[in-house]
Amino acid sequence: MSSNTARIAKNTLMLYFRQILIMLVSLYTVRVVLNTLGAEDYGIYNIVGGVVVMFTFLNGAMTAATQRFLNFAMGENDTEQIRNVYSISFVIHILIAVLIIVLAETIGLWFFYAWLNIPYERQSVALIVYQFSVVATAINIIMVPYRATIIAHEKMSFFALISIVEVLLKLGTAFLLVIILFDKLAVYAFLLSVVGLVVFVIHKIYCNKMFEIAHFRYCKDKQLFQQLIGFSGWSVFGSFSNVSNSRGTNILLNIFYGVTVNAAMGVATQVNAAVYTFVSNFQTAFRPQIVKSYAAKDYDYFKRLIFQTSKVSFYLLFFFVLPLSINAEFVLRVWLKNVPEYAVVFTQLMLLNSLETAISGPLMMSIQATGDIRKYQLIGSILMFANLPLSLLFLWFGFSPVWVLIIRIVLNILTIIWRIIFSSKKIGLPIMSFLREVIVPVVLITIICSLLTMFFQSFFVDWTRLILSCIISTMSIGCLVYWIGLNKQEKMSLKDKIAKSLDGKTNEKVTS
């Protein structure tokens, strides 16, 4: 167990180093692209790409199935099963890529011409962007088995490295836009598809070289094929709801308000993605251990991982979200110069929604680890999908586009409640213990730290306000997390780690 903890800590630190660099480069890339393309073309890119992504709910479902079955087989130390899972999932992902291309070139094109609110003079360029988005999406789908293999083997050093390479390549495309004389929007879409192809080739070469299982072989295991399809079949509901929740509502905003609001949503999405990836990386480091511990029937360790991952995920995200939300207008103005309308409030609401998601992410991992997700997906998917018809209803009656995200936040809370209830029934998660050790400390820390930070920073403006709010929020969150956010065992473990770290540094000085 100590080796598992050490591996998780090492992987988490590696992913954190990766994300700090990626966040800085990604945010700067968005600034360059937005200022170079303009709000209209940036909005066109986001909405056109969103239409293609709408069809990837099939892939999202299969991604979860691949990751789960690889981790489960590794937890049982079944090498033959690991090879079979990889080979079958590879075939399925190729079939999904072909299916999505067909859907995109038929239903997708019809939707493109019939419903999207794109300026007439930019429709031909938007169609080029659409086609390159289809290519990039197909490449990402076929790459899923490679990424799943890397994560299942917990090779986070390579995972971090390739992510850094990818974001640097995207930064290079942004700089090329400045000097390119052709239509910048079309060239940008082309360059991003090239970046996707390069990243795919790197993944393939690494996996084929490092992992014996990452070589396709013909597999006749029909039962495993049915299990993968069955698991992903129920996951389709959740994946479709997630895509509808994000891309579907973005399309509604385009229909009712045009591409400039899509630009604002694109900015908010980029900011949220840059910040939330800190938590998703942290949870990525824990995911293999959660599934493997369930497969090994180490249920005490399994439940302890769920508790720790849930609350620590929230704390890590809250460190960034609190000062950023309070100073969102100033930060976006400094970052982008030309801030699209609604970008500030969209950013604040999306960050709030991510705080909710951070808590329940480990619950979803634990449910997927069991393999029995039918009832969970049915109810959870209905709750998430409800955002689309409710948003349509509100926009139809002339409500502000802000209500699209408000509805999403409310439904997300209901989804969290359902995950807690289902986890209690399925894996024996003690609800009262989860509320006492996770939910109550999280709520108290959020309220106290938010009030303290808003009070002290209200006397200042601009840079002084930003710096002061960062200092106050960091200190208050750090202190309260230690006082009321950690249990006795976690506090003792933290003290031991700090003591060992200090002893190591002292020994190094004595030796030198």
CA angle 265, 242, 167 (to 5 degrees): 55
* pLDDT class of 237 with cuts at 50, 70, 90: low
What is the structure's pLDDT at 12? 57
Higher pLDDT, 22 or 297: 297
| Residue 157 CB contacts under 8 Å (≥ 6 apart), including other chains | 14
CA distance 381 to 239: 8
Query: 262 φ, ψ to 5°?
Result: -65, -35
Mean pLDDT, residues 351-370: 85
Higher pLDDT, 83 or 78: 83
pLDDT tens-digit series, residues 416-447? 999 899 888 888 888 898 999 899 999 999 99
Q: For residue 393, what is the enclosing H or E element?
A: helix 387-396
Return the closest-CA partner of residue 145 out of 195, 84, 102.
84
* pLDDT class of 396 with cuts at 50, 70, 90: very high
What is the structure's pLDDT at 345? 94
What is the structure's pLDDT at 304? 85
Residue 504 has pLDDT above 80, yes or no: no
Mean pLDDT, residues 142-152: 83
On whether the CB atoms of residues 279 and 316 are closer than 8 A, the answer is yes
- Tell me the average pLDDT of the chain: 81
What is the structure's pLDDT at 236? 66
Terminal Cα-to-Cα distance of the chain (whole angstroms): 33
On whether the CB atoms of residues 442 and 477 are closer than 8 A, the answer is no
Higher pLDDT, 153 or 269: 269
CA distance 337 to 355: 27
* pLDDT class of 59 with cuts at 50, 70, 90: low
Residue 512 has pLDDT above 50, yes or no: no
Mean pLDDT, residues 57-70: 68
Residue 200 has pLDDT above 80, yes or no: yes
Share of the chain above pLDDT 70, in %: 86
Q: Could you identify the residue written with the tokens 């495309």?
A: 173
Identity (one letter) of the amino acid at 479? C
CA distance 421 to 356: 16
What is the structure's pLDDT at 499? 64
What is the structure's pLDDT at 5? 55
Least confident of 6-20, 155-169, 207-221, 269-283: 6-20
* pLDDT class of 486 with cuts at 50, 70, 90: confident
Return the closest-CA partner of residue 367 out of 316, 414, 428.
428
Mean pLDDT, residues 394-399: 93
Burial class (CB in 10 A: 0-12, 13-18, 19+), 485: buried
pLDDT tens-digit series, residues 315-342? 988 988 999 999 999 988 888 877 888 9
Mean pLDDT, residues 245-252: 83
Share of the chain above pLDDT 90, in %: 17
pLDDT tens-digit series, residues 451-477? 998 888 778 788 888 888 889 988 999
CA distance 453 to 460: 12
Residue 348 has pLDDT above 90, yes or no: yes
What is the structure's pLDDT at 185? 86
Residue 288 has pLDDT above 60, yes or no: yes
For 317, the token pair is: 């995200």
What is the structure's pLDDT at 402? 95
Instruction: Provide the whole-model pTM.
Output: 0.74
